[in-house]
Copies of this chain bind each other. A is one copy, B any other.
Amino acid sequence: MSTPPSALFSAAAPRPVPLPAPAGADAERASRLLERCRALVRPALSDAVGRLHPWVGEMAAYSLGWCEPGGAPVTVPASGKGLRQALAVLGAKAAGAPASAGVTAAVAVELVHTFSLLHDDIMDGDQTRRGRPTAWKAYGTGPAVLAGDALFALSVETLAAVPGTDIPAAVRQLSTALGDLVRGQADDLLFETRPWTGSGAVRPDEYRVMAEHKTGALLGCAAALGAVLARAPRGTTATLDRAGRHLGVAFQVIDDLLGIWGDPMVTGKPVHADLLRGKKTYPVLAALGTRAARPLARLLDSPRTLDEAGARRAAALIEEAGGRSAALAEAHRHVAAVDACLDGLIEASRTGGHPAPVAASRATDDLRALLAFLVRREV
């Protein structure tokens, strides 16, 4: 589900801190790039899913947006943008390899991403995704757990089968991301049980770690894994990993902003859903850290569950206390950090001669176009 660049600023914002707007050409470049990567990766991804037990394979194909329950092809497209597979392909190109060198990494991370959506939807009790019932709603909880496990195993199997590459480094890259993914999801679940104020309250730095793990780890792994399989030097893969992790935090914060001030007609999410659920989002945590936050703290600490009017009032108080601008500034910082990582890649390729300067520069331009396009959209 995509959010046009205007969504983040659709409500009247008194102190907008705009993120870099993508030029029309950049947006078009990013769109074409995503489409090209999906087309490049699809045959290998289909092959991998085709190796699953047929029933499990159908659930996987449903989760990937390829079919309806029962296996009939979809009539309305329901796939994701394929951001992670694009990052894997660009990671390989940033290492001076052809796009095709990133395909196995792309398949591995796309399988892990699909696994994590499947299991997260069970944990969060989410009933719809991309406008369709989630897999556990369509097939039952047990089968959805199984399908997630199958995708997880398939991802490792796919990576371990690549001939002639540094498999240990690739498996380590993936398993570290998997571990972080679980850590981030655990923290996210636990945050919901913690208080808004007092010594047990969630601090913004804890949020940052959670977001890096939950969203950033796999984005970083995607780009780095593409480079690992293209035999990039350790410095290149580490920089790409770091870039993806910053991108993940930026995404998560932007998601939080959209959850409070985004246009529900555009984001596709009910208005104030995060506030009504008591979710520990960055704008609220940032606002609670200021002196102006007393009335907000009283409202959130009240034993009464927030209703729609309460959520509206909370949104206004968060903004008054500076939570909105602090969150925008936080997203900005992480976007700038991604940019710095990409500058570092270019610099390394100029001085170290590896990866090839021209290829690296073209790939980082693509990554920048993707970044500009994506930070204005929903994750």
CB–CB A56/B186 < 8 A: yes
A146 contact from B123, B150, B161, B172, Cβ within 8 A: B123
Chain B residue with the shortest CB-CB distance to A118: B145
User: Does A167 make an interface contact (CB < 8 A)?
Assistant: yes
CB–CB A145/B122 < 8 A: yes
CB–CB A146/B185 < 8 A: yes
User: Does A190 make an interface contact (CB < 8 A)?
Assistant: yes
Residues of B within 8 A of A187 (CB): 53
Cα–Cα, bound, A119→B152 (Å): 13
CB–CB B190/A178 < 8 A: no
Q: Given contacts A168-B167, A171-B171, are A146 and B182 in contact (CB under 8 A)?
A: yes
User: Does A141 make an interface contact (CB < 8 A)?
Assistant: yes
Residues of B within 8 A of A354 (CB): none
CB–CB B153/A189 < 8 A: no
Which of chain A's residues 40-77 have a Cβ closer than 8 Å to chain B? 53, 55-56
User: Does A28 make an interface contact (CB < 8 A)?
Assistant: no
Cα–Cα, bound, A154→B182 (Å): 10
CB–CB A160/B149 < 8 A: no
Q: Given contacts A171-B167, A175-B160, are A123 and B152 in contact (CB under 8 A)?
A: no
Cα–Cα, bound, A125→B122 (Å): 15
CB–CB B146/A189 < 8 A: yes
Cα–Cα, bound, A172→B156 (Å): 8
User: Does A307 make an interface contact (CB < 8 A)?
Assistant: no
User: Does A157 make an interface contact (CB < 8 A)?
Assistant: yes
User: Does A128 make an interface contact (CB < 8 A)?
Assistant: no
Chain B residue with the shortest CB-CB distance to A190: B55
User: Does A4 make an interface contact (CB < 8 A)?
Assistant: no
